[in-house]
Amino acid sequence: MNFLFRSDWGLFLIFLAGISVFLGIATLLLKKLDVHPHVTRRLVHIFVGCLTCAAPFFIESKTPVLIIALLFAILNFIAIKLNLLKSIHETSRVSYGTVYFPIAFFILVCWFWDKDPAILLTAMLIMSFGDPVASWVGESRKKPLGFTILTEKKSVQGSLSMFLVSFVVAVLSMKIFRDVFPHQADITWSIAIVFGLFAGFFSAGAETISHKGTDNLMVPLGAGVILDALYNGAPEFQTHLMIWMSLTVAIATIAYASSALSLSGAVGAWLLGTVVFGLGGVEWMLPIAVFFFFSSIFTKMGKKHKKKLATVFEKTGKRDIFQVFANGGVAMIATMCWHFLNTTELFWYMIFLGSIAAATADTWGTEIGAFSSHDPISILNFKKVPQGTSGGLTIIGTVGAFTGAFLIALVGKYSLLYFAGINMTWTAVLLISIVGLIGAFVDSFLGASVQAQYHCPTCKKLTEKTSHCENKNIPLASGYKKINNDFVNFCNTLAGGLLGGLAYLLIK
């Protein structure tokens, strides 16, 4: 028995047994007492979250904790596929939340176990209590104020509950645990309350845009990012981050009101903008701002002329959250890497700039190319194809793509010079412009070769849409169903980012 309580691996077995026993109890409640699966799922969510948060107080090494997290991620995935453990998996929608939860815990343990365990515990507790309370409040209202994000229905009451719980947990947890762990600096109640407000807003935003259980990943990781930036950043940086978090609310609201973004796109843009603007600074903000500004203008230009293409392209008009992160996700990751790795080199900035240049080149090439008086040629065989065909290239579209990429490179150069005192060479500007154009070509190639294309049985046209001419679920003509426009756009920005990093290595 001494081995169990004095050894990390003995405690590992105790934690493993504790979680297994509670899962058994939840199953018993479901089958024998007819307790609703939503209730058992919430109970397991809270209990397991609290139990995992006890690990740093009893286990010295993080290795057994990481093994527990991986083990339950794998077991939960298998249980979902085999329709087992209905006490935590039986919901009205397909959800991999029970898989994301231990994955989030694994990442947070790697990140904060030694650096700042108070943030590790706080981020997990926000998810452990916030999500069950938010779903309970939303479902318990007879007539909730509802809204739809992507395909999932949310409620204003649920989102407010998520914010309040996240705020209270962030304040109390950080205040208590910062006092408990001796190597961490103590904080005052006023600091805990102010920082808790911003952590609460960010967590509620992450939960609002969640889809099929991704809140179990996005909320704790998002809370960890914001808490780390606020509590471990310099005072001037803390102020800078909170100002930008507030300003991006206004920017996202204006974009939503002007129909440039859908509701999900506005919330996604706020989260992305908070990370990029808040962690990066003006030199990181301006390239994305220029991309969004001109892309919105080009999208609105010539609506009548481009109306016929709306029946071909999968998404037109308002940008949703998938489009926001497909175009800006790589840039956000590059910004986070630059900030948290505490590097002064241009490597991550070149990755960032390359991804935005590629997104801009693709958007400008598509929007400007739509005005071509000649039919485009296919990037695969260089034969003429109808206007709007994925992978079609035009001269003015290609020139527009390069111009857009060059503009982003130029904005990056002078932003660095005036706000960071760093002189990016003209060689780097040219390379980023080329990188952006290559990214757009990658987009066109994938669009023509593997992106899903559907054949409308009524008008006989090829389209990226799954529904056309009032026909739903029209047959697939080419490509793969899971490879849609957002996936192709992400590959575009990923290629731009990777090539941007390569460009830095070439000129270093």
**Separation CA 404–CA 434 (nearest Å):** 11
**Separation CA 135–CA 157 (nearest Å):** 9
Question: Cα-flanking dihedrals φ and ψ of residue 186, to 5°?
Answer: -70, 155
Answer yes or no: are the C-beta atoms of 356 and 287 closer than 8 Å. yes
Answer yes or no: are the C-beta atoms of 119 and 231 closer than 8 Å. yes
- Provide the β-strand partners of residue 155: 146
What are the DSSP calls for 487-508, one per residue? Answer: HHHHHHHHHHHHHHHHHHHHH-
**Separation CA 83–CA 90 (nearest Å):** 8
- Provide the β-strand partners of residue 152: 149
Answer yes or no: are the C-beta atoms of 451 and 484 closer than 8 Å. yes
Answer yes or no: are the C-beta atoms of 277 and 289 closer than 8 Å. no
| pLDDT tens column, 409-426 | 999 999 999 988 889 999
Length of the chain: 508
The reported pLDDT for the residue numbered 1 is: 44
Residue 454: which H helix or E strand, with range? strand 453-455
Q: How far is CA 316 from the centre of its chain?
A: 21
The reported pLDDT for the residue numbered 47 is: 81
**Separation CA 215–CA 126 (nearest Å):** 11
- What is the separation, in whole angstroms, between the first and last Cα of the chain? 59
From its phi and psi, is residue 421 left (phi > 0), alpha (psi between -120 and 50) or beta?
Answer: left
Residue 393, SS3 per DSSP: strand
What are the DSSP calls for 406-467, one per residue? Answer: HHHHHHHHHHHHHHH-----HHHHHHHHHHHHHHHHHHHHHHHHTB-EEE-TTT--EES-S-
Tell me 301's DSSP state. Answer: T
What are the DSSP calls for 164-196, one per residue? Answer: HHHHHHHHHHHHHHHHHSTTS----HHHHHHHH
Q: How many helices (H) and strands (E) does the chain have?
A: 20, 7
The residue assigned the tokens 């695969």 is 380
In the numeric block, which tokens belong to residue 6? 């004095």
Answer yes or no: are the C-beta atoms of 263 and 147 closer than 8 Å. yes
- Provide the β-strand partners of residue 147: 154
Count of beta carbons in the 10 Å neighbourhood of residue 226: 29
The whole model's pTM is what? 0.79
The low-confidence residues of the chain, meaning pLDDT below 70, are: 1-12, 22-23, 26-40, 84-95, 146-151, 182-185, 299-318, 388, 459-462, 464-471
Question: Cα-flanking dihedrals φ and ψ of residue 500, to 5°?
Answer: -65, -40
Residue 425: which H helix or E strand, with range? none
**Separation CA 34–CA 37 (nearest Å):** 9
In the numeric block, which tokens belong to residue 436? 């952006």
Domain ranges in the chain? 269-508
Residue 278: which H helix or E strand, with range? none
